Structure 1
Amino acid sequence: MDLIVCHVNADFDCLSSMLGAKKIYHEAIPVFPGSQERKVREFLRTFEPLEIRKVREIDLQSVTRLILVDTKNPHRLGPFSELALSGKVRIHIYDHHPVTEDDLRGELEVIEDAGATATIFTEMLKEQKIPITPMDATVLCLGIYEETGSLRFSSTTERDLLAVAYLLRNGANLNIVSEYIKAELSKAELKLLNELVASSRDLLLYGIRIRIVKASREEYFGDVAHLAHRIMDMEHVDALIMLLAMEGKVVMVGRSRVPELDVAGVLGEFGGGGHPVAASATLKDEPLEVI
């Protein structure tokens, strides 16, 4: 059995990459290893671009190959981590994140410099002349737009622009994309954003101004990465480290505008990962004050 798996707390780049992988690995079964970001869940309640199975429906003993998309970090695979590290299954990797020492290795690795893994799959589908529907194009576009900040982040490449152009020619619906990428904050999110901003303190290291913000919540709070983008848009700082304590864990989100500060390297010290300009980590059973 072949499985297509992304990282936990799946975003639109995960969803679009799973769709792209399914078109190449026809017999493979897409499976979310854990939770999804709120907007992804909302999208899947309205649209069903591909059938995605639940972990409990999978017999792990029957898995012979893992097709990993948008990650190669074994610690972000949820219940599939042990299987990926066991050496008992073949591994294919498709990812756009920089390579780190802790990464899994695969018998096939497509790890390239692009703003989104969805861009890599869009190029592959185009090169292999695999037809896509307007909905396919829209989902792939969602992945690229989300991961590149609607083509505004410094991690955006020429490849991403060309991929979007191809998807538009194939019927991608930008009205749907804009509905799910640019959303108004809920009351709870706005309250949390205000608390984060109010907690701000700055560190000045080697001329780099780093804003540290933190907050706590008793209940689980879904996707918070977009709040980091909001704060970076509001504040004139070089980098941001956001910490949110909830349900016995601390979520860390890092953003950087300057090449001198690699937030993936910083959060990698806490078991996280990502890009030099955008990264995240999750710590369990660590008090916020200690971190």
Structure 2
Amino acid sequence: MSSEGKMKVVTCHLNADFDALSSLVAAAILHDAKLFFPGSGEKSVTQYYKNRIENNYELFISKNCDRSIDTLILVDFSDKKRIHKAVKEKIIPDTKIIIYDHHLKDENSYENAVVHFKKYGSNTTQMVCDIKAKNIEISPDDATNLIIGIYVDTGGFKYYGTVPADLEAAAWLLSQGADLKVVENIVSRDLEYDQISILNQFLINRKTVYIEGAKIAVSYSTSDEYISDIAIVVGKFLIISNLTAAICASRLRDKVYIIIRSRDPAIVDAKAIAKLFGGGGHSYAASAATTKTLTEVNLTLANWLRNLQLKSFRTEKLMSSPVVTINMNASIYDAESKMAKYAINSIPVVKGDKIVGILTRSLVERAIFHKLSSESVKKCMMTEFRTVGINSSFETIRKIMVEGRQRFLPVVKEGKLIGAITRT
């Protein structure tokens, strides 16, 4: 603490989880900083803080503090909008900002912050690595308070995104006396009766889809009473249903809480979904609370799921194959006969196995009207058109066919025609 009465303070995001709590402890150890816990919607996190953290580390208590913050350390987040107001009030223009996060810098972050970014499964991991590298002594209690964040945030080292550094950090903490019995008591405890009721509703109300091999479920529950640790229930739902991602909405009293858990953020980005409701979090774990009705929330989630399904569609799922074609040297009369036989409105014109044009019914009818039935189709065909490949996205196809108004879309592979997509 400086002679000017300023101080170092470490804080995490609102609605803290175990990784945020462990990150607080790690940063407090690294920087000899006062710890500010902004609260959590998870009962287990709050209880752990009260039982093992609150009385064992120096805390920042803003109520009776008339000093500004010299250095502010943000852990497990970088969005300044998610800083508790008690901390915000003590920030001055000269406050140095340090950020430890394992996700990309948020758009609402501080521009001139010193950022420590490591894409680890747990944010705590990178600070444990620093503690070890600097030979800072920690107690067995410290080690336990650090390992729980790593263990929970990596799903016991089973979640997508877990890296060797997470296991190495945990192994070092075990060597420093971390007590896994404490961790086991937290992560393996049985659900309470009201939580089981919510879990049953999730199982009954779920809608499950498969996208690119990923099993994704959207579900909901209701209760006239507030039930704590809904996030734990969602975690159980994820495991029981063997899901890649779970998106759950729970109406508790007069609010709807949205909890998202994803084992593969490349397919389901939890943070992006939470932002639809003004929430936040990480790509694999995020949440939001809203005063919207459950019906409104479910409609938003249904639209999101539909858009995700559409984006996952690839050409191969949409195209017809084989395609009826006509040789470029065939006559307009031959083309008209073939289109009538197969009841089609467009036909690709080929030279060998390569497409060189498209002939539409309107072009054929116009040629016949002008008595050009005996002319070759190459004289009447449309030669300016776009094609797609076998792995083109739904959005690419949509832009060509809707915005580009091309009703017949050839699919090619190595220049050869292998299929077609039509508006009908």
TM-score (structure 1 length as normaliser): 0.87
Q: Identity of counterpart residues, as a percentage?
A: 30
Query: Cα offset for 1:141?
Result: 0.5
Report if the CA contact (8 A) 2:79-2:107 is conserved: no
Structure-2 residue corresponding to 1:17: 23
Task: Trace 1:113-262 onto structure 2 (pairs within 5 A).
Answer: 113-203=119-209, 209-258=215-264, 259-262=266-269
Match of 2:38 among 25, 33, 37: 33
- Greater relative contact order (CA < 8 Å, ≥ 6 in sequence): 1
The answer to whether the aligner puts 1:43 opposite 2:51 as a matched pair is: no
Give the letter aligned to residue 47 of structure 1. Answer: R
Q: Bigger CA drift: 217-226 or 201-210?
A: 201-210
Unaligned runs of 5+ in 1: none
Structure-1 residue corresponding to 2:271: 264
Q: Bigger CA drift: 5-14 or 264-273?
A: 264-273
Unaligned runs of 5+ in 2: 1-6, 298-424
C-alpha distance in structure 2 between counterparts of 1:82 and 1:168, whole Å? 36
Change (3 A) 1:205 1:126: closer
Change (3 A) 1:37 1:257: closer
1:161 partner SS: helix
2:278 partner SS: coil
Query: Cα offset for 1:25?
Result: 1.9
Query: Cα offset for 1:246?
Result: 2.6
Give the letter aligned to residue 137 of structure 2. Answer: P
Give the letter aligned to residue 37 of structure 1. Answer: E
Report if the CA contact (8 A) 2:206-2:218 is conserved: yes
Q: Bigger CA drift: 120-129 or 226-235?
A: 226-235
Aligned length: 288
Change (3 A) 1:238 1:33: closer
Q: Bigger CA drift: 204-213 or 232-241?
A: 204-213
Larger Rg, first or second structure (1 or 2): 2
Match of 1:78 among 84, 108, 120: 84
Give the letter aligned to residue 48 of structure 2. Answer: F
Change (3 A) 1:120 1:207: closer
C-alpha distance in structure 1 between counterparts of 2:208 and 2:182, whole Å? 38
Query: Cα offset for 1:36?
Result: 5.5
Change (3 A) 1:15 1:261: closer
Change (3 A) 1:55 1:282: farther
Change (3 A) 1:156 1:223: same
Query: Cα offset for 1:91?
Result: 1.5
Change (3 A) 1:192 1:84: farther
Match of 1:290 among 290, 296, 306: 296
Report if the CA contact (8 A) 1:84-1:91 is conserved: no
Report if the CA contact (8 A) 1:66-1:84 is conserved: no
Report if the CA contact (8 A) 2:194-2:227 is conserved: no
Deviation track 1:118-149 (CA, whole Å, cap 9, x = no partner) reads: 11110010111111111111111111001111
Task: Trace 1:87-126 onto structure 2 (pairs within 5 A).
Answer: 89-126=95-132
Change (3 A) 1:52 1:120: same
Report if the CA contact (8 A) 2:69-2:92 is conserved: no
Q: Bigger CA drift: 205-214 or 31-40?
A: 205-214
Give the letter aligned to residue 35 of structure 1. Answer: S
Change (3 A) 1:101 1:130: same
Query: Cα offset for 1:8?
Result: 1.6
Give the letter aligned to residue 46 of structure 2. Answer: R
Change (3 A) 1:182 1:58: farther
C-alpha distance in structure 2 between counterparts of 1:134 and 1:290, whole Å? 48
Q: Bigger CA drift: 221-230 or 203-212?
A: 203-212
Query: Cα offset for 1:214?
Result: 1.0
Deviation track 1:169-206 (CA, whole Å, cap 9, x = no partner) reads: 11111111111122111111111111222221235667
Q: Runs of at least 4 residues of structure 1 off by over 6 A?
A: none
Change (3 A) 1:98 1:228: farther
Change (3 A) 1:84 1:220: farther
Aligned Cα RMSD in Å? 2.6
Q: Bigger CA drift: 104-113 or 187-196?
A: 104-113
C-alpha distance in structure 2 between counterparts of 1:214 and 1:12, whole Å? 24
